[in-house]
């Protein structure tokens, strides 16, 4: 089952890798980042809610005591991950957005340590340093791109969006997602729909689907079904069998998928600084993987 967990995360990462090109199609036809996020989460809420009616109607009712937990799940898992990353996708290159987003294994490791679930070891400190250095190089440090050429708001939102994904991972492994996985999945979409509805309405960005051409509708359908429902469902299942840090690390395979898709479909070849930054971030990930293997070896030898 452990191998199945890793396979589910890799498949989810493949779907995540298609986000950039599909969102660019929707944006080209006038759908705003808030509109795209709203379509994704409302579709997720409708499908998950419909399943709950037949599988477990209790999942539709958050309960007074736990409402704030599920609201946070919607805020971080949906608004941060969907909406903030969408803004980043339209302000900085897709490849760079993915690189910055996927420093999240470091945040996941820190969060797990803070919760007392996984120790924050020397190797994890080294991984955090390598990951932060990778971000710095990718956005303007030594060997990186010129800061003046980048929208730093997009840079910041990509990183914060990754932190939201870390919350989703940690909550799925150690929080309400462990205690009530299906209910957490349903409630995340319900609360996320409410929040994104308020954001889109306040900004006047409720999309008019009736006026969209077929390519835009297909792009939105793809976004709602594969990188949203399917990917989140796969990761939620995988977290039953692998640790939060392992899931977060494995999900970094999206960097490869997204880079290839952005290059093929959008013609966005990665800049030298972005490649160097990505290598440093991958180094951080490899350090975390190495730590796990060393721990496993030590335990086996004892």
98-125: per-residue pLDDT in tens? Answer: 788 988 888 998 899 899 998 777 887 8
In this structure, are residues 85 and 101 in contact, taking their beta carbons and an 8 Å threshold?
Answer: yes
Query: Which residue is listed with tokens 């980048």?
Result: 150
pLDDT recorded at residue 296: 41
Domain layout of the chain by residue ranges: 2-100+152-268
- N-term to C-term CA, the chain: 25
261-270: per-residue pLDDT in tens? Answer: 877 777 877 7
The pLDDT mean for the chain works out to 86
pLDDT recorded at residue 141: 58
What are the residue ranges of helices labelled H in 115-250?
122-139, 152-174, 176-179, 181-202, 214-224, 231-238, 244-250
Percent of the chain with pLDDT over 70: 92
User: pTM value?
Assistant: 0.84
Count of CB atoms within 10 A of residue 125's CB? 14
pLDDT recorded at residue 247: 87
Give the span between the Cα atoms of 137 and 48, in whole angstroms: 40
CA angle 115, 118, 122 (to 5 degrees): 115
Band (201; pLDDT cuts 50, 70, 90)? very high
pLDDT at 295 over 90: no
pLDDT recorded at residue 207: 94
35-44: per-residue pLDDT in tens? Answer: 999 999 999 9
């Amino acid at each position: 089952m452990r191998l199945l967990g890793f396979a589910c995360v890799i498949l989810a990462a493949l779907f995540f890798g298609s986000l950039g090109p599909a969102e660019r199609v929707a944006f080209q036809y006038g759908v705003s980042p808030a509109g795209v996020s709203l379509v994704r989460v409302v579709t997720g809420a409708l499908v998950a809610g419909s399943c709950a009616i037949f599988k477990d109607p209790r999942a539709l009712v958050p309960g007074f005591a736990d409402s704030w937990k599920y609201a946070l799940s919607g805020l971080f898992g949906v608004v941060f991950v969907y909406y903030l990353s969408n803004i980043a996708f339209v302000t900085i290159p897709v490849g760079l957005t993915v690189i910055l987003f996927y420093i999240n294994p470091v945040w996941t490791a820190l969060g797990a340590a803070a919760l007392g679930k996984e120790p924050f070891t020397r190797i994890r400190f080294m991984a955090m340093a390598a990951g932060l250095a990778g971000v710095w190089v990718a956005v303007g440090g030594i060997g990186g791109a010129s800061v003046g050429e980048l929208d730093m708001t997009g840079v910041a939102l990509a990183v914060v969006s990754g932190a939201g994904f870390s919350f989703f991972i940690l909550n799925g492994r150690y929080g309400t997602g462990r205690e009530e996985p299906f209910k957490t999945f349903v409630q995340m979409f319900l609360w996320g729909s409410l929040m994104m509805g308020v954001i889109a309405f306040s900004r006047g960005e409720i999309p008019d689907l009736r006026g969209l051409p077929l390519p835009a509708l297909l792009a939105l359908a793809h976004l709602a079904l594969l990188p949203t429902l399917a990917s989140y469902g796969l990761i939620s299942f995988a977290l039953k069998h692998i640790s939060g840090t392992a899931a977060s690390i494995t999900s970094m395979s999206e960097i490869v998928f997204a880079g290839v898709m952005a290059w093929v479909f959008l013609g966005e070849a990665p800049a030298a600084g972005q490649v160097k930054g990505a290598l440093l971030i991958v180094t951080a990930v490899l350090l975390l993987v190495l730590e796990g293997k060393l721990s496993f070896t030590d335990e086996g030898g004892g």
